[in-house]
């Protein structure tokens, strides 16, 4: 299989004149030093169609072209599994992950993961790529997961994520009626005692901030929208338990499974700047069947 090369191009602007191509890529486009070293060693840098050194200085109108690495040996086996694709181009793949699927293989779940499904999808397209998810969501959380298709895209999105430039929105159903129309939860999170899985609110833990907004109040439940300003493990689940309204079905964090058998949380939206074009890109995932069924159940309880 031969993965088609991905070409990144930029025409130098007046403010770029006199600057080294290396400096432009580092400071204007936030390329990592490691990636630029790989491009240099592979002679994958051209200016106006001719090979160039990164230390050369550019001028307005120059066309800087980089052949990004696309041909990489997959580190996990591909499998022929269903994949709900929301968006795909040469740089990114965004999918709507189903409930019950792990994002990355591990000892407990070595197969049937999202990673196996993604690699299998690329193999059927004749592409060799590494699996690089930008973020992870819990096995029983449904919704958007974004995967980088090359080292450049991964590095660019990781840069945005570290600086809070990626906006993540979740929707969930919690037990009880939340009185505030909106608010913020600022409680640090750390490991619960004697557990490698469960977290808890801990003043000595890592800072965590979750914004919430009430979308609908039911008789004994509330439909909420969450915006994460940090990305701690189980952040929404821990914060919901902490302010007295655990997610419906989340028995690990104080919820009950009376009429829903998993925590009622969905990764609805992921917004960021496209790594190649710099233009805003918004990925949205519709609710899965079980959450749509939960809405019907909650409405029936009001009758």
Q: Which residues are catalytic?
A: 138
Looking from the CA of 213 toward its CB, the CA atoms found within 13 Å total 6
The DSSP-derived string for 40-80 is: HHTT-EEETTEE--TTSBP-TT-EEEEEE------SS----
Give SS3 for 146.
strand
> To 10 degrees, the CA torsion angle through 291, 297, 302, 303?
140
Give SS3 for 302.
helix
CA–CA–CA angle 140, 144, 149 (5° rounding): 120
Cβ–Cβ contacts within 10 Å for residue 43, how many?
Answer: 11
d(CA 140, CA 162) in angstroms, rounded, equals 25
Where do runs of H (alpha helix) occur along the chain?
21-23, 33-41, 114-124, 151-162, 235-242, 289-302
| Nearest residue to 37 via CA among 53, 51, 49, 48 | 53
């Amino acid at each position: 299989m031969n993965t088609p090369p991905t070409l990144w191009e930029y025409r130098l602007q007046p403010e770029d004149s006199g600057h080294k191509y290396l400096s432009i890529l580092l400071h204007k486009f936030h390329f990592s030093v490691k990636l630029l070293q790989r491009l240099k060693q592979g002679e994958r840098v051209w200016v106006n169609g001719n090979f160039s050194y990164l230390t050369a200085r550019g001028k307005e109108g120059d066309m800087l072209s980089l052949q990004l690495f696309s041909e990489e040996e997959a580190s996990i086996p591909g499998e022929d599994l269903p994949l709900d694709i929301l968006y795909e181009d040469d740089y990114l793949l965004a999918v709507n992950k189903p409930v019950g699927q792990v994002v990355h293989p591990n000892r407990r779940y070595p197969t049937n993961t999202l990673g196996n499904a993604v690699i299998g999808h690329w193999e059927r397209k004749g592409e060799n790529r590494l699996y690089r998810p930008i973020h992870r969501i819990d096995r029983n959380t449904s919704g958007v997961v974004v995967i980088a298709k090359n080292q450049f895209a991964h590095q660019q999105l990781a840069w945005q994520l570290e600086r809070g430039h990626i906006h993540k929105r979740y929707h969930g159903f919690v037990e009880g009626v939340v009185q505030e129309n909106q608010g913020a939860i600022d409680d640090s999170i750390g490991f619960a005692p004697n557990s490698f899985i469960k977290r808890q609110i801990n003043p000595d833990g890592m800072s965590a901030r979750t914004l919430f907004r009430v979308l609908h109040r039911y008789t004994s439940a509330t439909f909420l929208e969450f915006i994460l300003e940090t990305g701690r493990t189980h952040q929404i689940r821990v914060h919901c338990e902490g302010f007295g309204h655990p997610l419906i079905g989340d028995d690990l964090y104080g919820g009950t499974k009376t009429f829903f058998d998993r925590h009622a949380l969905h990764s609805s939206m992921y917004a960021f700047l496209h790594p190649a074009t710099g233009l805003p890109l918004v990925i949205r995932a519709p609710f899965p069947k079980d959450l749509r069924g939960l809405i019907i159940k909650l409405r029936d309880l009001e009758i």
